[in-house]
Amino acid sequence: MSAQGTPTAAGKTTGTSKTTSAQTPKGAWTITFLLFLFMLVNFADKIVVGLAGVPIMTDLKLEPEQFGLLGSSFFFLFSISAIVVGFIVNKVPTRWVLLTLAVVWALAQFPMVGTVSFTTLLICRIVLGAGEGPAFSVAVHAIYKWFPDEKRALPTAVLSQGSAFGVILAVPALNWIIVNHSWHYAFGALGVVGLIWVAAWLALGREGPLEDTQVLAATEPKIPYLQLLTSRTFVGCVAATFGAYWALSLGLTWFTPFIIEGLGFSQSDAGWISTLPWVFGATIVILTGWISQVMMARGATTRVARGVLGSVPLVIGGLILALMPHVQGAGLQLALLVVGTGLCGAIYVVCPPMLGEFTPVSQRGAIIAIYGALYTFAGIIAPNVMGTVIQRAGSMLDGYMTGFTINAAVMVGSGLLGLLLLWPNTERTRLTRTAAPQASALKGAVLPT
């Protein structure tokens, strides 16, 4: 966009500042690091129930179906909250929205420090999910105010790595607390860490200078939400990421119990083993972001550099995961699980930039939030399905293997849908034609002062 917020010839958008599309403002990577930490806390909060799964089930005398419900409960308000907040950030600065979300996370952890019932734990996880539902979409929207379109893949990858490092760094520490003290104190520690991030963001967090959403809302052409939400790339992003999130939500809830109950490892060993999928996934995410930007710099279309690059690993990962029931030995089964699910991370890097390609800036917060709300429905379904399958299986291990086979099928299907539907470069052209008459009308209009 020009200084008035109109589209450029290349179809890319900037905001109202004088910064050109090739420049990255000073402080952009500081904000990126803070938002990386934001996502680190976010995923540490998510993983704690799965990490403490066996002690929780033992202390509260829970059946697998009940524990599956607990895992799913986190997502009951996740999607609704994501959509509501997504529209809010079209008008409210992301700095204050991010601050509010982090406060909710921290406060939702402290009730678990004392004696707690299953109902209290369930309610706190629902509240936490409502606070964390909008997290990634709001953080993405915030970070895109600091980077032009062609430079967004790498910061998106760094942001996504907050999830991996939230597990890699938090799991050993939290597991030590669980083993040496109590699972109750693991929740309390996360509440304290959340409040520390709140203080850091109050001191250093700022709004990006490349886009002024309120000004753009008054000047840039709008595209009807129905057209954006039914565009094939939007549908493709939801479908592809749904499969990835199925695997992720199983990892958050059932990976550690599988290591202990299915493969026979101790709680102490499960702590470091639980980090393996996230270490591998972190490598995949960073590589995807780097490769995507290199491909685009060399002239590749975003269909290839984003759509194909994100979808193919889902298909390959699903096929690898499908081999688990057909091999022997805990080590080999674990390796297939780590590699198969770790490949899913590629899709998280490419989908938000693809949506940003064709969505007007003043509508982007809502569109990315709705995208997140829809694919995270997998988080409600997957843990419950795994719990039901385990409880009804002939043996614990057979139940886990059936659940991972279902996961493999979902991943392959979602990856194939991504390959079929993800065409962001042509989507932008088609939707821009729709918005062009509106842009002409705006140019001739006198805006109120």
Write out the two tokens for 341.
């699910």
In angstroms and rounded to an integer, the radius of gyration of the C-alpha atoms of the chain is 22
User: How far is residue 134 CA from its own chain's centroid?
Assistant: 9
Nearest in space to 387 (alpha carbons), one of 246, 249, 254? 254
Long-range contacts of 261-268 (CB under 8 A, 24+ apart): 261/54, 261/396, 262/396, 262/397, 262/400, 263/330, 263/333, 263/334, 264/330, 265/330, 267/54, 267/55, 267/175, 267/178, 267/179, 268/175, 268/179
Sign of the alpha-carbon torsion through 321, 327, 390, 409 = positive
Write out the two tokens for 34.
């803070």
pLDDT along the chain (449 residues), means of 10: 33 38 76 92 85 87 87 85 86 90 93 88 92 88 84 80 76 87 91 95 87 57 88 96 93 86 84 83 86 91 94 97 93 94 91 90 83 88 91 89 96 97 87 60 44
Q: Which residues of 157-183 are buried (b: 16+ CB within 10 A; e: fewer)?
A: bbbbbbbbbbbbebbeebbebbeeebb
Write out the two tokens for 369.
């939030």
Cα–Cα distance between 273 and 257 in angstroms, integer?
Answer: 11
Cα–Cα distance between 357 and 12 in angstroms, integer?
Answer: 7
Nearest in space to 205 (alpha carbons), one of 147, 139, 263? 139
Cα–Cα distance between 66 and 411 in angstroms, integer?
Answer: 25
Cα–Cα distance between 182 and 185 in angstroms, integer?
Answer: 6
> Looking at residue 336, what is its pLDDT?
95
Contact (CB, 8 A) for 367 and 85: no
Contact (CB, 8 A) for 157 and 347: no
Contact (CB, 8 A) for 25 and 210: yes
Contact (CB, 8 A) for 168 and 98: no
> Looking at residue 7, what is its pLDDT?
33
Domain range list for the chain:
32-431
> Looking at residue 22, what is its pLDDT?
53
Cα–Cα distance between 407 and 36 in angstroms, integer?
Answer: 28
All residues at 6 or more sequence positions from 228 whose CB lies less than 8 Å from its CB, including other chains: 234, 358, 359, 363, 367, 431
Write out the two tokens for 73.
């409960």
> Looking at residue 20, what is its pLDDT?
42
> Looking at residue 9, what is its pLDDT?
32
Fold of 32-431: Growth Hormone; Chain: A; (1.20.1250)
Q: What is the torsion angle, in degrees rounded to the nearest 10, for the CA atoms of residue 86, residue 92, residue 94 and residue 100?
A: -90
Cα–Cα distance between 395 and 214 in angstroms, integer?
Answer: 57
Nearest in space to 386 (alpha carbons), one of 52, 53, 40? 53
Cα–Cα distance between 42 and 38 in angstroms, integer?
Answer: 6
User: How far is residue 363 CA from its own chain's centroid?
Assistant: 19
What Cα–Cα distance (Å) separates residue 375 from each residue in 329, 382, 402? 33, 12, 22
> Looking at residue 222, what is its pLDDT?
81
Phi, psi dihedrals of residue 36, rounded to the nearest 5°: -60, -45
> Looking at residue 295, what is its pLDDT?
93
> For the residues of 61-76, what is the DSSP string, one character each?
T--HHHHHHHHHHTTT
What Cα–Cα distance (Å) separates residue 163 from each residue in 47, 281, 297? 10, 10, 27
Report the largest interatomic distance among the alpha carbons of the chain, rounded to a whole angstrom.
72
Sign of the alpha-carbon torsion through 139, 141, 142, 145 = positive
Write out the two tokens for 64.
């697998």
Contact (CB, 8 A) for 34 and 354: no
Residues in the chain: 449
What's the number of CA atoms in the CB half-sphere (13 Å) around residue 363?
18
